[in-house]
Each structure stands twice: as C-alpha cells, then as structure tokens.
Structure 1
Amino acid sequence: MNGQNIKVFVGCDPNNCDLEQMMVLDYSIQKHTSIPVDIIWMQLSRDASSFWYTDTQRKQGWHTEKWATPFSGFRWAIPSYCGYEGRAIYMDTDVIVLSDLYELWTHPIEGNAIVAAKGGKSTARLCTCVWDCEKAKTILPNIELVKNDPDSHKNLMKMIKEHPGYVEPYQDHYNCIDGEALDLSEIKILHYSDMGTQFSHKYALPRLKQNHAEHWFDGEIFEHPRQDLATLFDQYYQEAINAGFKLEDYMIEPYGSFYKASQKNYHGNRVTRDIKEKSWFKQLIRKMKPRTQNFILDD
C-alpha cells in the first residue's frame, strides 16, 4: 500500500440531492488525511459505458428497486471496479471524517476476512468499510449477477450474517452511528445515519425546492438529538466554502426517476429516536425474555 493513493468509494444520490453531504465529506477527508485520496462518487448513470449504468425502463444495468437508498448495492461492486486488486474504502455520503483515513486504510484484514467493518460475531455495518479486493474475488458473485438481481444486496448481507468470519472487526469509533455514546473528541468517523435527522436537510431541501426538485428521502424529518454534531456539520460546511469548495463542483446531469424502496415507514435507529415500549406489560415481558444478541446489518 506504500505509494498508493487511498481509494474512497462513496454512495450518493444521482439527482444532486446530496451535494452538501458530498462537499462536507470531501472537505473532511482532505482536512485530516495525510496522503492523497481518490474519491469515486458512485451514482446511477444513464451512460451505458458507466460502471453504474442503470436503465429502469429497459431493465438493463443495476436493478435498484429493492434498495433502501439509490446506492445500497453498489458497495458489492467495488472489488470488481478495482480489478480485484489492492484495497478500497467504502462509505455512505452522510459521513464526516475526523481522523487520518490512512489509519483505516491500513487496518489488518486477516484470515478469511474480505472486509474490515464495524462489528463482530453479532453485527456487521458495511456503511463504512475497507475491502481487500483480491480476497473478495473468491467470495463475491460475478458482478453481472449482482447487477441483475434486485435481491442481491439483501442476499449478500445475509451471506455476511451467515459467515461473520468474512468481516474483520474494527474499532467502533471509525463508524460512529449518530454519535452513539461517544464524546465528539473520541469520534474518528461520524456517520449521521438516520435519514430523517440528517444535518444536510436544512440546506438541501430549500435548495431543491427552489429548483423545483424533490429529495429522494420521502420519510418524516426530525431534529437530531445531538446538537454538538449538528454544529460540527455547520462548521465543516462553512469551512469547506471558505476553503474554496463549491456545491457546483459536485453537480451532475440529474438522472431522473429511478426505482427504490420508500422510506415513509422509516423508523431511524435507537440512537436518534426515543424507542420505548409504552405498555408496562410489554416492558415486563421484555425483561423476562433471555438476553440474546441478534445479528445486525445496515441497509
């Protein structure tokens, strides 16, 4: 890995909804990382020569209709994109990097593991992860099979669940979901994951409305419970602009409509939402049940 640029693949919307997130993420990477970084924005494309080509009318390219986001299944394509050589970091676009990515880039991936990610025997969150592309070639299906099957993302998540040894666990601080219980100074990579509480909405939604466009997230919007994290996003947003970063630099020709799952019934996560049983009876039953640890996957 010496002398190589860090490759970072970022899943993002194809209709310019995520410009604020893209700018803040790009700025945060450049601010903290000690060696050059190449960012590959993974966005649905109507260009037949693009790796991310999708034609929903002709049912060609990527089949996205069961994805929770416009990019959920792209993470599985990264080793193929890299020719099954070297390493590659994947992250969603709703991320702020607060440490040197070289630390994550060089994280050990040992034994049967093909990817380093947050988790262990009971969890696997691939929303920020590091692929060993060569090792992944022996495990992941052919890329054309992944593209053509709308259930491939779900099925590959199931595969990871059934083979937890494929995941080399790393420190939670590298994929801190909405702050969790960590102080801001302890967070190495912040993933403001709850789509209903994302800090960028206050910038993106008015901008899109002014341009007669809609955001791909169609669920209910809430205020994030961590004001310090909201302030951090605002700080990095302004720092990026002051440093010469511009939203226009991330704009593309809008893709238009595409198939994906709706978030109208989206419930966020236990970090950002006050999820409590209202019934005392349900609380009692929950306490009486044996404590079991379910395998948790991200979308």
Structure 2
Amino acid sequence: MTNNIIKVFVGCDPNNCDLEQMMVLDYSIKKHTTVPVEIIWMQLSRNPESFWYSNPEKGEGWDTQKWATPFSGFRWAIPEYCNFEGRAIYMDADMVVLSDLSKLWSHPIEGEAIVAAKTKDAIARLCTCVWDCQKAHKILTPVSQLKADPEGHGKLMKQFKEHPELITPYIDSYNCIDGEDLDIEDIKILHYSDMGTQFSHKYSLPRLEKEGNKHWFDGGIMPHPRQELSKLFDEYYKEAVDAGYNLEDYRVEPFGVIPKKSHKRYKGNKVTRPIKGSILSKIFNR
C-alpha cells in the first residue's frame, strides 16, 4: 500500500455512552499496530458543518429512524468522506484489536470487489471492513441521497448480500463475533457484538447512572458466556488507564435523543445465546 497512515473510521454513540469502548479500542489498535494510525470517530453531530450532521427536529442531515445503532449507516459514507481516494478501515466501537492492523489494511480487494469483509455463512458482515474508496465510487449511493433515506442502510446491506462479488472475503478472525469457537490467541479482532452482553456495560452503565443519563441500548443485560473474554477486556481497560488514556478524552457535547430502532426485543446472536435447551442456555437461564 502507498498510504503512509492507516485511516480507521469508528462508529460510536454521540451521547458519551461508548467512552469505555472507544478508549479500549484506541489503546488496543495502537498497542499492536506498527505504523501510524488516524482514528476518525463517526458520531452524530448537531454542527451543520459536520459530515455527520443530523437535526431530527428539522428533518435535516442524517435520518437514523431505521438504524439499529446510532451509527449504522455511516459505514457507507466513508469512501466519499475520503474523496474516493485510497483505503479506509471501518469498525464498530465494540472491538478489541489483537493484531497488527497493517496486515488487514493491505488485504487484497480483487476483481469487482470494493471492500474486504467477513462473509461467513453467506452473511456480509461489514462491521469490520476495508474499503477501496476509489472502486466504491461507482457502486455506493451518494451521501446526499443516503443520509436523507432512513431505509438507505438496509437497502445497501441487501444489495451487498445479493451481490457477493462486491466483497473479497478475509480471514474470519478479523471480525470474531463474541469469540465464536476460537481461542484468544487465534483472534485477530474481537467483536463483542451482542449488545446485551457487552463487556463495557459493567463500566458504562454505573457511570451513566451517576451522570443522570441512560445508555442508548434499551434491551436486556446479561453475562457473556465466555468470561475469559470479559477478563481480557478488563485487562485492556486497565492497561489503557495505566498508559495514560482517559475517558474524558473521548467525551463530546451530547447529541440528545436519537431516532432509531428499539432493542426491547433484541435477541443477540447464536454465539452468546445458544439454542434453547442446550447446556449453555441452561447455565444462563435462557
């Protein structure tokens, strides 16, 4: 790759719910990556000059009504943000990087593909992916249209599902969903994806309550079935603090109420919530 700096775009909450996730992700990236990294935090903003501007009351900017998270649709805007030049990595905030991102950064994106991502079980998982921004120009919806269409995110997910040739598959462990069946040493990027079992809740929920705020996830909270992964997050959290990282460095002016889907009926995934009747489901009373 000719790019001297790895650009990492991270989707995160605009009301300071994800500070712990942001700090651990930032630290984990820099702990393992051997070249310079620039992190762009993608958060809804009330500033009309921001690329991520939204004003639901006036019907301006990004329309998030159909999104499952406060940042679901932002991943599609990254190539245009980069002026359709070079490469860019996208990832959700709920990640712990356990390998050198320079290897993911240089992953081949071949043929008609415009992005490298996980395609396990015929599902396009674009929650950690590498964009070829120039090639994406001819495929992706212009941001001016995308941000005004609440269905835009869903439409693009459907398009990529129906056109797998747009994706170059990479090693599954670059987006390891809640540990799957891998040992820690075999995971390149841990994605603690189940929003009900996220390791950061033990820190963020008490903090938010003390601040008089609530988390954007409104579903049920439960323990993660792999406690060694929870311990790993705790270790990285402590390492980050000991290295001088501070939650306040990630705090922003709160956005306010976010129009989005509710998670009252959120069911997680089959990794964290096994089929009813299995041994694990009995252990966790599910």
Q: Does 1:127 align with 2:127?
A: yes
Runs of 4+ in 1 over 3 A off after TM superposition: none
> 1:216 maps to which residue?
216
- Between the aligned partners of 1:17 and 1:24, the Cα distance in structure 2 is 14
Identical aligned residues as a percent: 66
Structure exhibiting the larger radius of gyration computed from Cα positions: 1
Contact 2:6/2:37 (8 A) holds in 1: yes
> 2:283 maps to which residue?
none
Q: Say what the alpha-carbon RMSD is for the aligned residues.
A: 1.1
Contact 1:120/1:167 (8 A) holds in 2: no
Please list, as runs of the form range in 1=range in 2, the aligned pairs for 1:82-101 lying within 5 A after superposition: 82-101=82-101
User: What is the SS of the residue equivalent to 1:84?
Assistant: coil
> 2:67 maps to which residue?
67
TM-score, normalisation: structure 1: 0.91
> 2:254 maps to which residue?
254
- Between the aligned partners of 2:120 and 2:176, the Cα distance in structure 1 is 15
Q: Does 1:106 align with 2:94?
A: no
1:276 Cα deviation after fit? 2.8
Please list, as runs of the form range in 1=range in 2, the aligned pairs for 1:140-219 lying within 5 A after superposition: 140-219=140-219
State the AA in 2 paired with 1:122.
A
Please list, as runs of the form range in 1=range in 2, the aligned pairs for 1:219-230 lying within 5 A after superposition: 219-230=219-230
Instruction: Name structure 2 gaps, 5 residues minimum.
Output: 279-286
Contact 1:219/1:264 (8 A) holds in 2: yes
- Between the aligned partners of 1:195 and 1:226, the Cα distance in structure 2 is 15
Instruction: Name structure 1 gaps, 5 residues minimum.
Output: 279-299
- Between the aligned partners of 1:158 and 1:13, the Cα distance in structure 2 is 24
1:121 Cα deviation after fit? 7.8
State the AA in 2 paired with 1:160.
F
User: What is the SS of the residue equivalent to 1:8?
Assistant: strand
> 1:241 maps to which residue?
241
Contact 1:9/1:89 (8 A) holds in 2: yes
Q: What are the Cα deviations for residues 90-136 of structure 1, in whole angstroms up to 9, with x where unaligned?
A: 00000000000000000000000000000168221000000000000
> 1:14 maps to which residue?
14
- Structure 1 pair 73–3 and aligned structure 2 pair: CA distance change class (3 A): closer
1:3 Cα deviation after fit? 5.0
- Between the aligned partners of 2:140 and 2:23, the Cα distance in structure 1 is 31
TM-score, normalisation: structure 2: 0.96
Q: Does 1:271 align with 2:271?
A: yes
State the AA in 1 paired with 2:16.
N
Q: Does 1:40 align with 2:40?
A: yes
